[in-house]
Structure 1
């Protein structure tokens, strides 16, 4: 390993990370060195993401340069026009992000590939938008999204504007491995600009996204925006300026930003974990909403691709909506507003089944994918047609896309759409809570939950165990059918089988009699099993929402408890 460390130090362009390694070598800190050199950060469909530091198993300038070199070689091997079409690059507000973006641009231009580089921080959806707007061969966002401050990442979009999927992930990874063994070439960015290989994306680019969203018919519901107010936080990320501009364009004048969290700050000083799903992360924006009596308390995550919202209740307190609740509200709302041929909606296998019910009632086209927005948008492009154009997709982890202007989750347009939906309801004397209850009364109350179980890394795969001795019931409920995505097959209780048209994945979905569901899948990044639960309860006559919710929560608690205990046996 000593030779590998010496070679790394010799190649590393960053004095800080060179010194970090030299200090560890001097201290003979074998454990720290092994942690940095035991493997390389794996490049996958989400690109790269990891802790910033020295060595191949960390995010640093050398890893970025090698990754960008691999991407450049792969692009040119796949697309003869890639050099001329170019690559758009944006970055978030973390301390190293701008430098990593500049390094990426220096590598790509040295390979003769034109680069469009944002002049300042940019929300992730702006870069996804920029791929199609500029007609580039790919896009790069330097961001670690909602991960803690010690992280950074390198996210790649393909020329269709969506996140990369197979085989591009493995193809790029192979080229990165080759680049790590080769000399690297970089071009000075001023030289690149003079040669026409670098275009700085200035205010005009940001304005073009703003104008596109303003012209989006799905964001054109200007029903008395003054009837509601909202508090907003960018959570120390990059969303505030554009979020406030889009809301102003839509006529929302009562918008209160959390000043302490408005400006980009990759240290995230006022939140323990900059993810709106984490406990406490929404505290500041809810305080802001309470101070103004606002209708909504809204948040984007630090790269503004996710959207979260808490809604004021009749007693004046605020309650977070789940990602599934926001998703079904959007589905119901957008299907009522879209053109008849714009009716393709989708979600993932672990998100609520309620969207499917809503789509069926509306006569719309519904599709389902594996987890991850890369699947939602790539599959949508495959499935849409002139007669069934894409409208909306969501995943329960707070990701939503409204229309096809951005082929990825976009927390900025979702913010505007949700505010417009709320304002329309308000003018009709209704609240978000009234609308949710109406949806539940029509289709049933769908309650979703997720739990994770730590696994022994040395233990046999849980999925294989469940396949070898399949359960016949879960929590006393008979299993009506099982979707086995590893073998692309649905097996019914009577022995019949059907083929599943989804990519293979180590996932088992148990559909229970009565409509409940359990999804079991191993985590792809750590030794744990993720379990997703869904309980469906119908309303009986004039039964109150509170009583149905209580029954659903009791049923959910029993389902989780008994299923988790069965996995321990």
Structure 2
């Protein structure tokens, strides 16, 4: 695309943009004739990825802004058709409330019914609301745990789960067919959902979760400047727990996330304040939500003092057994993703229930099959059910936190800890130790080059273990849809999966080592830690990203 083409397209965009901030940004770029900035904003467009849009705020089709959002709403309206009902939620990020209002205006202007959340509430409340109201679709304006500069647009279908192909492609095509947003008919007749109308039913649905009756527990909690604090506190007090002690500096929503580099509990340093609070109050459990509260992280005290966070796979294994002990039926199903631990398959076999493996993302977990009572992904996402089913057809950081608290309180009453429960699993199934290796890039082509290098020269040995099989997931394997990824199975049950992130400029590697526990669990953990470090080193070299 020539500079003249970029300038022409940018001027057309500027003419229809209803936002004075992005108009001013774009006018400045045009005045300076900044070709690089124009190419960055207009040389491409945000595509539907993990069930919607996500990207940096700013002007142009390759950014999140009011024009992009209004076009997305118009595309969804065209796919759904007049008379359909859409529920809209939003978090506390920059522009989230504005984007929600623009969406409602476009939908009602197109003849649809729109219901907008009356507060900045967690994503699982929106996912629950879609099924609770029998709506045809839902939209959550959030960028989850992305940096402050980002926002996003997550779309749910009538089953309360995130959209999957071909619906995403249909919406994308309808967006492309949308004309100027300043020519769209806009309505103003949407309804506002208050706390009693939707938050209370959501909390009542969580009462079915397998929380048990033990309540003696001191909990340290952080919402990481997100929207989880109020709803989570109400969930805990309704269930009979004392309100968790919250990190004061992170308690209130703040779209700039001033105390963390990245508002993701998995990122180094993100949990420092929560762990400090836990130490000062002698907490039995540490809990955290990401900013839209669909993910949950947990930490536990150690016998020698101090605390450590559980991995998503460790929490997933504990929750899986807990759910299976508190549910019944031969038709039960548990599901996780190709990048999560293989432990869940062994737990399912021990309990005589079905197990499914899906592509990465909760949109796929929710499609695993009938009878699903538990689904999780290693990135701290859990959907927990009971004999009554799943309250939320998506990951739910509030329900997961409540269930983890019940599990920890049960263990404490029996004189045991979460570490004891992890050791029990290691003895029963073997120690399944997992870790991530992530490479954040500024040039997305680096990811393509690294993946091409691995495909051209696949490793034959990693960390002293023979690579027994190599699978290119782009070809589709084991009945799964094609996806950009590579999976290696190593001697001794080890496994490596490499894939580009669907939501961030990262190349992500998922590592698993399986160690039989013959003597002490501590010795097995030490050996697994050494093997994982060796695996990281060898894989980094193979990728050329040392």
TM-score band (shorter)? over 0.9
Tell me if the contact between 2:29 and 2:38 (Cα under 8 Å) persists in the aligned partners: yes
Q: Offset of 1:318 from its aligned partner?
A: 1.1
TM-score (norm 1): 0.89
Deviation at 1:512, TM superposition (A): 2.2
2:534 is aligned, of 550, 554, 558, to 558
Q: 1:488 to 1:5 in 2, by over 3 A?
A: closer
Matches within 5 A, 1:150-169: 150-169=149-168
Ranges in structure 2 where 5+ consecutive residues have no aligned partner: 1-5
Query: Contact 1:84 / 1:114 at 8 angstroms: preserved in 2?
Result: yes
2:132 corresponding residue in structure 1: 133
Secondary structure of 2:161 counterpart:
coil
Greater mean alpha carbon deviation, residues 525-534 or residues 148-157: 525-534
- 1:85-484 mapped onto 2 (5 Å cutoff): 85-180=84-179, 184-189=183-188, 192=189, 198-203=190-195, 204-214=197-207, 216=208, 218-222=209-213, 224-225=214-215, 227-253=216-242, 255-341=244-330, 343-379=332-368, 383-384=369-370, 389-403=371-385, 404-452=390-438, 457=445, 471-484=459-472
Alignment root-mean-square deviation, CA: 2.2
Cα deviation, residue 359, structure 1: 1.0
For 1:378 and 1:171, how far apart are their aligned partners in 2? 19
Contact preservation (8 Å) 1:87, 1:138 = yes
Rounded Cα–Cα distance in structure 2 between residues aligned with 1:445 and 1:93: 40
Question: Shift of the alpha carbon at 1:351?
Answer: 0.6
- CA distances 1:507-556 after superposition (whole Å, capped 9, x unpaired): 3322223211122334457776433221111112xx22221111112222
- Assess if the C-alpha contact under 8 Å between 2:50 and 2:361 holds in 1: no
Q: Which residue number in structure 2 is paired with residue 61 of structure 1?
A: 66
| Residue deviations 1:294-335 (CA, integer Å, cap 9, x gap) | 111111111000001111112331111111110011111111
- What is the rounded CA distance, in whole Å, between the counterparts of 1:396 and 1:33 in structure 2? 38
Matched, 1:51 2:56: yes
Question: What are the ranges of 5 or more consecutive residues in structure 1 without an aligned counterpart?
Answer: 77-82, 193-197, 490-499
Q: What SS class does the counterpart of residue 9 from structure 1 fall into?
A: helix
Classify 1:342/1:228 alpha carbon distance in 2 versus 1 (closer, same or farther; 3 Å): farther
For 2:22, the equivalent position in structure 1 comes to 17
Q: CA deviation at 1:465?
A: 5.9
Task: Give the Å deviation of 1:33.
Answer: 2.6
Matches within 5 A, 1:468-547: 471-489=459-477, 500-524=478-502, 529-540=507-518, 543-547=519-523
Give the conservation status (yes or no) of the 8 Å contact 1:66–1:184.
no
The SS at the match of 2:437 is strand
What is the number of equivalent residue pairs in this alignment?
533
Matches of 1:417 and 1:119, distance apart in 2: 27
Distance verdict in 2 for CA 1:341–1:247, change over 3 Å: farther
Per-residue displacement from partner, 1:153-172 (whole Å, max 9, x unpaired)?
A: 11100111111111111111
Distance between the aligned counterparts of 1:157 and 1:334, measured in 2? 25
- TM-aligned CA distance change 1:174 to 1:298, over 3 Å: same
Most deviating of 10-19 and 469-478: 469-478
Alpha-carbon spacing, 1:371–1:320, altered in 2? closer, same or farther (3 Å): same
Q: Do 1:342 and 1:391's aligned partners in 2 also have CA atoms closer than 8 Å? A: no
CA contact (8 A) 1:480 1:512 kept: yes
- Tell me the CA shift for residue 238 of structure 1: 0.8
SS at match of 2:174: helix
Mapped partners of 2:72, 2:495: distance in 1: 41
Which stretch has the larger CA shift, 23-32 or 318-327?
23-32
Query: For structure 1, which segment, 323-332 or 26-35, has the greater mean C-alpha deviation from structure 2 after superposition?
Result: 26-35
In structure 1, distance between residues paired with 2:380 and 2:69: 28
Q: Specify the SS of the correspondent of 2:164.
A: coil
Q: C-alpha separation between the residues in 2 aligned to 1:414 and 1:520? A: 27
The 3 A distance-change label for structure 1 pair 560 and 15 is closer
- Superposed CA deviations along residues 14-69 of structure 1, whole A, max 9, x for unmatched, are 11211222222223333223322222222234311111112222111111111111
Please report how far the alpha carbon of residue 342 of structure 1 lies from its aligned counterpart in structure 2 after TM superposition. 6.1
Tell me if the contact between 2:50 and 2:503 (Cα under 8 Å) persists in the aligned partners: no
Q: SS in structure 2 opposite 1:84?
A: coil
State the SS of the aligned residue for 1:244.
Answer: helix
Per-residue Cα deviation, 1:274-297 (whole angstroms, up to 9, x for no partner): 111111111222222222111111
Shift of 1:475: 3.9
Q: Residues 22 and 479 of structure 1: is their aligned pair in 2 closer, same or farther, counting only changes over 3 Å?
A: closer
Q: Which residue of 1 aligns with 2:33?
A: 28
Structure 2 distance, partners of 1:152, 1:132, is: 25
* Closer, same or farther: CA 113–327 of 1 in aligned 2, 3 Å: same
Post-superposition shift, 1:181?
5.1
Distance change (3 Å), C-alpha of 1:119 and 1:456:
closer
Distance 1:91 1:483 in 2: 39
After superposition, what is the alpha-carbon deviation per residue over 1:424-444, rounded to whole angstroms, capped at 9, x for unaligned? 111111000000001101111
The correspondence for 2:79, drawn from 62, 74, 80, is: 74
Is the CA contact (8 Å cut-off) linking 2:288 and 2:297 kept in structure 1? yes
**Distance in 2, Cα, partners of 1:347 & 1:477:** 25
